[in-house]
Amino acid sequence: MTLGWIQEALASAPVQHALVAGSEIAFLSGLVGAFVILRGQSFAGHVLTDVGTTGGAGAYLVGLNGWFGFLSFGVIASVGMELAGGRTRGERDLATGVVLSLALGFGALFLYLDAQLAHANASMAVLFGSLFTLDPALVPWISSLAAVCAAAMLLIWRPLALASVNPELARVRGVPVRAMSIAFMVVLAVAVETDALVAGSLLATALIVGPAAAAARFVSNPLRAGVAAGVLGAAIVVASVLLSYDSYNWLPQHTSWPVSFFVAALAFLAYVVPAAARRFGVRRMAEVTEA
Amino acid sequence: MNPWVMLAFPFAQHAFLAASFVAAAAGWIGFYVVLRGTAFAAHALPKIGFAGASGALLLGVNSLFGVSLYSAVAALGIGALAERDRRDVATALVLALGLGTGALFLSLGNLYAEDAMSLLFGQVVGVSALGVMETACVSAAAVLVVAAFHRVLLFTSVAREAAAVRGASNRIADWALLVGLGLATSAMMPVVGALLSFSLLVGPALAARHLVRRPWQAILTSVTLSLAVTWLSLFLSFALGWPVGFFVACLSALAYAIARAASRIFDRRPLEGMA
């Protein structure tokens, strides 16, 4: 089998843009994801994607690029969620849930109106991603925003890790815990909402949680786990883009399989396979020692 | 269109019946969801059900079957993964995988926009007489599962250590709730849609928690509120032609906001004097 199709894929401009923007944002997502897991904020991350749906659908409604809608709603929601707080995680989740369902209600309305006003594809782009139809003018913006956020994470990772694991100790050491969590939520919002372009608002969580959960099994230092997750995430996106490009020829009816499917499936595999392999390996070792 | 006139048509009557069964089940199960703080699972299962429904559309089988199968597998998957890893991580991963396959089914079946929208936001006017029967049976099954484990669910949530000492397993309670949620999801999906099932599960139950203290009172209040929200939403949706889910979400949030304000004014604290 020749690998000519890869060269052919790489020569196409939409694929190039998809690869550049997608892998950068996936790296940021992995980096942020390690801290999301450390802080137990998977639900918050997921909520941001749903709020983003509302923003993205609203942006199409008024004729803006979806990304601006995702981003503005996500950042506002992230700060709001952090300020609303809650005594326990369960209670915080429930309060978040009510805000979330309200946002989803409006998202439903906006998507419905989008469909009525003949942006039939807008709703699918919002929900399932639009990496191949990315506006080339946005690529530099996405790249620089991802770079700034990644730099910010590298700058604050040590006090952030301390504040995540032991807030009391962090406060004693003079770490501004509250400001730290707000800053983190904003970076998380940027990562999640830009993922929504790659994988759609329904699936943005995959890139945050999947690679980070896989990395957390092998690396305990949060920074190293973050970087490992980022590299893994970028690899997943590159593989997904190429597979989606090639999948046009897989079935007789010639439909491209969506990028978001490959992202979700590969992220899940990255999490499950090492665990299974390790378990199997451990069992084998135990058998050998017993024998 | 005048909603009173529409009520004379069989499709509107079917919609009201199916939505009522779904609302009662959601209000009941929502009580346990709120009690145990499992908002993420309650949010994830309906979305995974969406993937199951799109798979069923692709294969041309009954969508209730697809939703039930997918929700059941997802509930088992979340339960199994959560035993080795953190629950929220497990939920997020299973959710992402489920939705990914859903996106694939939709694109393979060329089912885009319209079908996806009706799955995500509900297609309440499409319910047949047989559909009403199916919805009633599945809703009843969902309530039966949680009701059978009522004492265990309550005991392990309110006093985890004491429950463990007395031999009431928190794991069994977790599984029972996941299965109940999966079943309720299957019933809700076709009616209110994947995205808004969650509002109906959490909104009325949270409101009820702020209004009354005893568990049975809370369940009854939650069911009543849920029915009221659903009926009013259907009515508004018929009148204005906007999606049912939008009204369900707004009215659920409104019920919660009013209940919270009321509990502030009358200075009642939720469920604390109970134990």
Average pLDDT by consecutive 10-residue portion of chain B (275 residues)? Answer: 72 86 93 85 84 85 82 84 76 86 81 67 72 88 91 80 71 84 84 78 89 89 94 87 84 88 71 40
Q: Which chain B residue is nearest to residue A127, measuring alpha carbons? A: B103
Cβ distance A105 to B249 less than 8 Å, yes or no, reads: yes
Map chain A to HEC letters: CCCHHHHHHHHCHHHHHHHHHHHHHHHHHHHHHHHHHHHCCHHHHHHHHHHHHHHHHHHHHHCCCHHHHHHHHHHHHHHHHHHHCCCCHHHHHHHHHHHHHHHHHHHHHHHHHHHHCCCHHHHHHHHHCCHHHCCCCHHHHHHHHHHHHHHHHHHHHHHHHHHHHCHHHHHHCCCCHHHHHHHHHHHHHHHHHHHHHHHCCCCHHHHHHHHHHHHHCCCCCHHHHHHHHHHHHHHHHHHHHHHHHHHHHCCCCCCCCCHHHHHHHHHHHHHHHHHHHHHHHHHHHHHHHHC
Alpha carbon separation from A4 to A10, A164, A249 (Å, rounded)? 10, 47, 14
Cβ distance B113 to A123 less than 8 Å, yes or no, reads: yes
Cβ distance B246 to A258 less than 8 Å, yes or no, reads: no
Q: What are phi and psi of A91, to 5 degrees?
A: -70, -40
Alpha carbon separation from A54 to A19, A36, A103, A107, B199 (Å, rounded)? 26, 23, 6, 4, 15
The pLDDT value recorded for residue B52 is: 87
The pLDDT value recorded for residue A283 is: 54
Residue A98 forms contact with B (CB below 8 Å) = yes
Lookup: tokens for A71:
């981003």
Cβ distance B116 to A124 less than 8 Å, yes or no, reads: yes
CA-based nearest distance B159→chain A, Å: 15
State which residues form the domain around A130: 4-290
Q: How many CB pairs below 8 A link A and B?
A: 184
Residues 186-245 of A with CB under 8 A from B: 200, 202-203, 205-206, 208-210, 213
Closest CA to B222 of B270, B264, B186: B270
Count how many domains chain A has.
1
Q: What are phi and psi of A134, to 5 degrees?
A: -60, 135
Alpha carbon separation from B145 to B80, B180, B199 (Å, rounded)? 19, 6, 21
So what CATH class is B3-265?
Answer: mainly alpha
A31: pLDDT strictly greater than 90: yes
Cα A102 to its chain centre, rounded Å, is 22
Closest CA to A235 of A258, A202, A210: A210
Confidence of residue A119 (pLDDT cuts 50, 70, 90): low
Lookup: tokens for A44:
């918050």
Instruction: Domain ranges for chain B, please list them.
Output: 3-265
The pLDDT value recorded for residue B225 is: 95
The pLDDT value recorded for residue B275 is: 32
Alpha carbon separation from A103 to A71, A107, B245 (Å, rounded)? 14, 6, 11
Cβ distance A206 to B34 less than 8 Å, yes or no, reads: no
Q: From CA A235, how far away is CA A231, in angstroms rounded? A: 6
Cβ distance A268 to B248 less than 8 Å, yes or no, reads: no
> Which residue did the predictor score with more confidence, A139 or A288?
A139
Q: Which chain A residue is nearest to residue B195, measuring alpha carbons? A: A104
Lookup: tokens for B127:
């319910």
CA B30, B33, B35, B37 torsion-angle sign:
negative
The pLDDT value recorded for residue B273 is: 37
Cα A182 to its chain centre, rounded Å, is 18
Chain A residues whose CB is inside 8 A of the B252 CB are: 98, 101
State the angle between helix axes of A13-39 and A204-216 in degrees (0 to 180), rounded to the nearest 10.
60
Cβ atoms of B182 and B75 within 8 Å: the answer is yes
Residue A124 forms contact with B (CB below 8 Å) = yes
Cβ distance B198 to A104 less than 8 Å, yes or no, reads: yes
Find the mean pLDDT for residues A180-186.
Answer: 88
Residues 241-260 of B with CB under 8 A from A: 242-243, 245-250, 252-253, 256
- Average pLDDT of chain A, as a whole number: 82
Neighbour count for residue A33 (Cβ, 10 Å): 36
CA-based nearest distance A138→chain B, Å: 25
Cβ atoms of B50 and B101 within 8 Å: the answer is no
A15: pLDDT strictly greater than 50: yes
Q: From CA A210, how far away is CA A202, in angstroms rounded? A: 14
User: The complex's ipTM?
Assistant: 0.79
- CATH of residue A59: 1.10.3470.10
Residue A288 burial class via C-beta count within 10 angstroms: exposed 0-12, middle 13-18, buried 19 and up: exposed
Residue A132 forms contact with B (CB below 8 Å) = no
Neighbour count for residue A249 (Cβ, 10 Å): 10
Lookup: tokens for A156:
């604050």
Give the containing element (helix H, strand E) for B218. helix B215-240
Out of B91, B103, B203, name the one closest to residue A258 (CB): B103
Cβ distance B103 to A105 less than 8 Å, yes or no, reads: no
Q: Per-residue b/e over B54-75, b at no fewer than 16 CB within 10 Å?
A: bbbbbeeeebbbbbbbbbbebb
Q: Which chain A residue is nearest to residue B237, measuring alpha carbons? A: A109
Cβ distance B113 to A121 less than 8 Å, yes or no, reads: yes
* Total residues found in chain A within this entry: 291
Cβ atoms of A214 and A272 within 8 Å: the answer is no
The pLDDT value recorded for residue B67 is: 85
The pLDDT value recorded for residue B113 is: 60
At A233-291, the pLDDT tens digits run: 999 999 998 888 888 777 777 777 888 889 889 988 888 887 777 767 655 555 555 44
